[in-house]
Structure 1
Amino acid sequence: MRASTRIASVLTGLTLAVGGVAFTAPAAGAAPADVTACINQVERELHGGEATDSVRMACYVGLTGDQQHCVTGLTAGGVTNGTAVTACRVAPE
């Protein structure tokens, strides 16, 4: 393979990779805000306490739309049922 062909191939690959990252970045940026709303709801119940990893994972599950598993995960982590339902409801918004 000639050097000019190889360089062109590498540049094309880099362009596609960077373009793909730029294309997916806005979608990735939207998810944490939704998970944050769920986590903040739980932390309000904890009166400023830090959410555990299990709470963060349950909120992420809620972000996917699986409300039942989100509530189950939060209540297993010590969150009251009412707060869990509210937090999981705001996750996918």
Structure 2
Amino acid sequence: MTLALGGVAFTAPAAHADVTACINQVERELQGGEAPEYVHTGCYVGLAGDHERCVSTLTEGGVTNGTAVSACRVSLT
């Protein structure tokens, strides 16, 4: 949505990043308990915009590549 006031256009902010959705997605794969610290770290790195590092942090911890890619993607939406 765009709003023009006095010749200046303002756009509504995009949906904010969702670290919780990222963590929850990984927890579903791990099937049990709270996500380890590396999951929180990876999802926050994804929130900061470093998708590749988010994925590598999660996969190095044992998360499958497919889950890591999709979890990091939701951390940005």
TM range (shorter): 0.7 to 0.9
Taking the aligned partners of 1:76 and 1:49, their CA distance within structure 2 comes to: 19
- TM-score, structure 1 length as denominator? 0.62
Q: Deviations over 1:14-71 (max 9, x none)?
A: xxxxxxxxxxxxxxxx66xx11010000001012332100110000000011100000
Counterpart-to-counterpart distance in 2, 1:89 and 1:48: 22
Identity of aligned residues (%): 69
Ranges of 4+ aligned residues in structure 1 off by more than 3 Å: none
Distance in 1, matches of 2:55 and 2:24, equals 15
For the aligned residues, what is the CA RMSD?
A: 1.3
Match of 1:80 among 64, 67, 71: 64
Please state which structure has a larger fraction of its residues in helix: 1
TM-score, length basis structure 2: 0.75
- Aligned: 1:49 with 2:33: yes
Greater relative contact order: 1 or 2 (C-alpha under 8 angstroms, separation 6 or more)? 2
Structure with greater strand percent:
2
Aligned length: 62
Output the amino acid matched with 1:52.
P
Structure 2 unaligned segments of length 5 or more: list them: 1-15
- Say which one has the larger Rg: 1
Unmatched runs of 5 consecutive residues or more in structure 1: 1-29
